[in-house]
Amino acid sequence: MKSEMENDILKVLVTEEELKGRITELGAELYERFHGKNPLFLGVLKGSFVFMSDLVRACQVKSDVEFIAVSSYENATTSSGRVKIVHDIQQDITGRNLIVVEDILDSGNTLAFLSEYFKTRGAASITIVTLLDKPSRRTKAVTADLAGFVVPDEFVVGYGLDYCQQYRNIPYIGVLKPEVYSR
């Protein structure tokens, strides 16, 4: 397939095949944990939208789907530390078993904030599933219940993850060339 963005990628960190294989495993694990429990898949926008769509199809439990949109980055590659709800959940989550779906767990600011928020909204349980985990950068005591891949301390894009809102539609996880940041 032709790609306008390929030239901006320094290296591929996780291939499409690796993503597919691991998501099949995550779906199976979630099936074991949640069948019969009618969980709510709750995606954290925007980054999780690609992962979310593959994960829910890899896990054939009776469930429904919800999204919350937050922003903390303000178009830089390091977190501002403040998390803002940009679009809130549209349903009552009291008593629900949540599967919170994130693209990447980095400093932990976002998921520390959201876990607290979902508790105050009455969730019965919160299970955090992140596609990528960057444990080297954690500043908050947050751990994922399930993580797809542990990645090194490099800024990654693709499969939902962006740099300045771009590159989300690259089908694999890659690292950008340094010159892209200095443009």
> How many Cβ atoms are within 10 Å of 51's Cβ, its own excluded?
26
From the candidates 8, 103, 106, 133, which is the catalytic residue?
106
Cα–Cα distance, 102 to 119 (Å, whole number): 17
Shortest distance, position 60 Cβ to Mg ion, whole Å: 25
Task: Give CA angle at 151 (41, 161), nearest 5°.
Answer: 55
Per CB under 6 A, the list member of 104, 146, 147, 180 interacting with ligand IMP is: 104
| Pick 60 or 80: Cβ nearer Mg ion | 80
Given its phi and psi angles, is residue 83 left (phi above 0), alpha (psi -120 to 50 degrees) or beta?
beta
| CA gyration radius, the chain | 16
- 171 three-state secondary structure: coil
Question: Whole-angstrom Cα distance, residue 156 to residue 47?
Answer: 12
Instruction: State how far the alpha carbon of 58 is from the alpha carbons of 33, 52, 138, in Å.
Output: 14, 10, 29
Contact string (CB under 6 A) for ligand IMP, positions 47-86, x = contact: x------------------------xx-----x-------
- 8 labelled catalytic: no
Decide which of ligand IMP, Mg ion, none touches 79; Cβ closer than 5 to 8 Å per partner kind.
ligand IMP
Residue pair 34/63 in contact (Cβ under 8 Å)? The answer is: yes
Q: Site mask, ligand IMP, residues 115-154, x = CB under 6 A? A: ----------------------------------------
Regarding 47 and contact with Mg ion (CB under 5 A), the answer is: yes
Query: How far apart are CB 71 and Mg ion at their closest, in Å?
Result: 9
Residues that bind ligand IMP (CB under 6 A): 47, 72-73, 79, 102-110, 155-157, 161
**Active-site positions?**
106
Residues that bind Mg ion (CB under 5 A): 47, 103
